């Protein structure tokens, strides 16, 4: 089966690019690594048979949100001379150790559980139509509230971004 | 060798902890913000793995909601960063310490 | 392993294929005969549709990376000050190329994102509308989307009245 190859390949890609994203000094480099990371995430979603969500991940995260990030980075335009070279300090070392401890703790906790295999799925799992059917019937109220959230975001960002009100 | 639910959960935990590392250690506010997006994506991975395990698609709808919240958060948060830079001329969180006692 | 084609999806080229495709769900391409349901082994036909995408990525990364590595290893490099300058002929650049963007671009990009999400919600709506109409739920689905778009339309009116769309 190809499944382990895809899982370890894209999972490894996601972890490596996430580490690169966190450790770069230049925010532009971070943003580009994060785009690659989101592509790996989309591939992982597709290995989980979430086809629609995988496409949306590329469309929204890699396509739209990261464009906004790169826009803002270029807008602020921190020159290379202003970027502080942050060497590995005590806080970085401590943070790294705590992170590794956290990972080990969660992993050991998860490994105590019995092994749970994935069952075969019904036809059409994760396509646009079944997900949409849930969205427009069972989750109707969250869907409508989403529009209110977006309205608040529109108003908030205009208030923040407009220089003179 | 089969890929099980635990594999995906451990992967999501590792990615989430990398995001936590970025938030805790980095002082560039843009990279902190990107780390938050990474953590949100790791949570989405957990949602989708449990959906796959249970054979339901409710998790997919919630991932949809999380994506919407992430986009709204990015729009407002980046607006706050722009306003911060306009007033303080810095994007380093350790230089914003007016409220420090 | 049987090489099966799920023939239910052969709409775009209707008529180009033999008539058997219209009735046969699992057509064995190699042996040129129709398989019945017990014979057919459909091995993740959905995942097979990602193979072209993977090939595209592999060829793209391999080709561009291969050329960069090739020119890095077999190209001769003799840097002179003239070659390392921004232009080999013409004036030296004056000032920094890092001009700060105007905040106007940010507002437009951000409004793009918020309305982009709105469009993402329209995809499942558009696909499901006929199905909902057939079971008599068409007005409900229509009203849902009108309310959703109406609230976002309020946002658009606000942005417009606030003058955030004007380019000054």
- B92 pLDDT tier (thresholds 50, 70, 90): confident
Domain-located, residue B2: no
Mean pLDDT, residues B37-61:
93
- State pLDDT tens for residues C82-116: 777 776 666 777 776 666 667 777 788 888 888 88
Token couple for A110: 């998860």
By the CB < 8 Å criterion, does C109 face chain B? no
pLDDT of residue A92: 81
Degrees (nearest 5) of the Cα angle B10, B15, B16? Answer: 95
Token couple for C97: 């190329």
Mean pLDDT, residues C107-127:
88
Residues of A in contact with C144 (CB under 8 A): 136, 140, 143-144
Range of B73's domain? 27-92
Read off the CATH number of the domain in which B59 is found: 1.10.287.3510
DSSP three-state, residue B100: coil
Domain-located, residue B56: yes
Domain-located, residue B48: yes
Question: What distances in angstroms separate CA C18 from CA A81, C7, C9, one per listed residue?
Answer: 68, 11, 14
Domain-located, residue B44: yes
Helix pair A140-161, A128-136: axis angle to 10 deg: 90
Domain-located, residue B1: no
Q: Which of A147-156, C4-13, C47-56 has the lowest mean pLDDT?
A: C4-13
pLDDT of residue A62: 85
Class of the domain covering A1-98: mainly alpha
- Given a contact cutoff of 8 angstroms between Cβ atoms, the answer to whether A45 and C66 are in contact is no
pTM, two decimals, is 0.82
Q: What's the complex ipTM?
A: 0.92
- State pLDDT tens for residues A133-153: 999 999 999 999 999 999 999
Domain-located, residue B12: no
Token couple for C47: 């995942």
Degrees (nearest 5) of the Cα angle A104, A109, A113? Answer: 140
Confidence check: pLDDT of A43 > 70 = yes
Question: What distances in angstroms separate CA C157 from CA A145, A155, C124, one per listed residue?
Answer: 19, 11, 26
By the CB < 8 Å criterion, does C117 face chain B? yes
Confidence check: pLDDT of A54 > 90 = yes
Which of C151, C154, C159, C168 to mutate to probe the A interface, most A CBs <10 Å?
C151
- Say how many domains are in chain B: 1
Taking an 8 Å cut-off on Cβ atoms, the answer to whether C98 and A79 are in contact is: yes
Look at C18 and A163; give whichever has higher pLDDT: A163
**Nearest beta carbon to residue A134 from set B49, B52, B57:** B57
Q: Which of B59-63, B93-97, C127-131 has the lowest mean pLDDT?
A: B93-97
By the CB < 8 Å criterion, does A122 face chain C? no
Domain-located, residue B20: no
Question: What distances in angstroms separate CA C43 from CA A40, A120, A130, C22, C40, one per listed residue?
Answer: 24, 11, 21, 21, 9
**Nearest beta carbon to residue B45 from set A4, A44, A64:** A44
Domain-located, residue B10: no
Q: Tell me how far apart the alpha carbons of residues C73 and C39 are, in angstroms, rounded to a whole number.
A: 54
Indicate the domain borders of chain A: 1-98, 127-165
> In DSSP terms, which residues pair with B92 in a beta bridge?
B28
- Given a contact cutoff of 8 angstroms between Cβ atoms, the answer to whether A158 and C162 are in contact is yes
Confidence check: pLDDT of C10 > 70 = no
**Nearest beta carbon to residue B91 from set A45, A76, A152:** A76
- C28 pLDDT tier (thresholds 50, 70, 90): low
**Nearest beta carbon to residue B71 from set C103, C106, C117:** C117
Instruction: Identify the closest residue of chain C to A64 by CA–CA distance.
Output: C113
Q: Tell me how far apart the alpha carbons of residues A134 and A146 are, in angstroms, rounded to a whole number.
A: 15
- Min Cα distance A59 → chain B (Å) is 11
Look at A67 and A79; give whichever has higher pLDDT: A67
Taking an 8 Å cut-off on Cβ atoms, the answer to whether C110 and B68 are in contact is: no
By the CB < 8 Å criterion, does A77 face chain C? yes
Taking an 8 Å cut-off on Cβ atoms, the answer to whether B6 and A110 are in contact is: yes
pLDDT of residue C7: 44
- Given a contact cutoff of 8 angstroms between Cβ atoms, the answer to whether A40 and A13 are in contact is yes
Instruction: Identify the closest residue of chain C to B77 by CA–CA distance.
Output: C110
By the CB < 8 Å criterion, does A103 face chain B? yes
- A41 pLDDT tier (thresholds 50, 70, 90): very high
Q: Which of A28-32, A37-41, C21-25, C30-34 has the lowest mean pLDDT?
A: C21-25
Token couple for A28: 């532009």
Q: Tell me how far apart the alpha carbons of residues A46 and A164 are, in angstroms, rounded to a whole number.
A: 45
Taking an 8 Å cut-off on Cβ atoms, the answer to whether C110 and B78 are in contact is: yes
């Amino acid at each position: 089966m190809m499944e382990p190859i895809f899982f370890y390949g894209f999972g490894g890609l996601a972890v490596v690019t996430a580490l690169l994203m966190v450790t770069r000094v230049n925010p532009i480099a971070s943003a580009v690594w994060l785009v690659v990371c989101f592509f790996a995430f989309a591939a992982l979603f597709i290995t989980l048979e979430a086809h629609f969500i995988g496409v949306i991940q590329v469309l929204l995260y890699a396509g739209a949100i990261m464009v906004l990030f790169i826009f803002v980075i270029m807008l602020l335009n921190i020159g290379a001379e202003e970027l502080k070279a942050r060497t590995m300090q005590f806080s970085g070392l401590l943070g790294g150790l705590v992170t590794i401890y956290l990972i080990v703790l969660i992993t050991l906790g998860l490994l105590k559980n019995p092994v749970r295999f994935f069952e075969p799925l019904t036809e059409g799992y994760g396509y646009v139509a079944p997900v949409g059917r849930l969205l427009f019937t069972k989750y109707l109220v969250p869907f409508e509230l989403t529009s209110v959230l977006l309205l608040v975001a529109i108003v908030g960002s205009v208030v923040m971004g407009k220089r003179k009100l | 060798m089969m890929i099980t639910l635990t594999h995906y959960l451990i992967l999501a935990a590792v990615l989430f902890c990398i995001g936590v590392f970025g938030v805790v250690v980095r002082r560039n506010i843009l990279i902190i913000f990107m780390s938050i997006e990474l953590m949100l994506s790791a949570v989405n991975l957990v949602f989708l793995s449990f959906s796959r395990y249970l054979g339901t698609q409710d998790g997919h709808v919630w991932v949809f909601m999380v994506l919407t919240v992430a986009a709204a958060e990015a729009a407002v948060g980046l607006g706050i960063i722009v306003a911060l830079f306009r007033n303080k001329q810095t994007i380093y969180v350790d230089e914003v310490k007016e409220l420090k006692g | 392993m049987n090489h099966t084609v799920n023939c239910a999806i052969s709409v775009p080229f209707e008529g180009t294929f033999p008539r058997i495709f219209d009735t046969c769900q699992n057509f064995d391409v190699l042996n040129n005969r129709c398989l019945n349901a017990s014979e057919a082994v459909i091995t993740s036909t959905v995942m097979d549709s990602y193979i072209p995408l993977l090939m595209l990525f592999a060829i793209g990364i391999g080709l561009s990376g291969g050329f960069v590595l090739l020119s890095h290893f077999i190209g001769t490099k003799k840097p002179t000050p003239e070659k390392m300058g921004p232009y080999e002929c013409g004036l030296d650049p004056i000032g920094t190329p890092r001009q700060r963007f105007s905040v106007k671009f940010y507002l437009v990009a951000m409004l793009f994102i918020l309305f982009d999400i709105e469009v993402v919600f329209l995809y499942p709506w558009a696909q499901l509308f006929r199905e909902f109409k057939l079971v008599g739920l068409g007005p409900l689905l229509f009203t849902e989307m009108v309310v959703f778009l109406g609230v976002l339309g309020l946002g658009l009116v606000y942005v417009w009245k606030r003058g955030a769309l004007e380019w000054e």
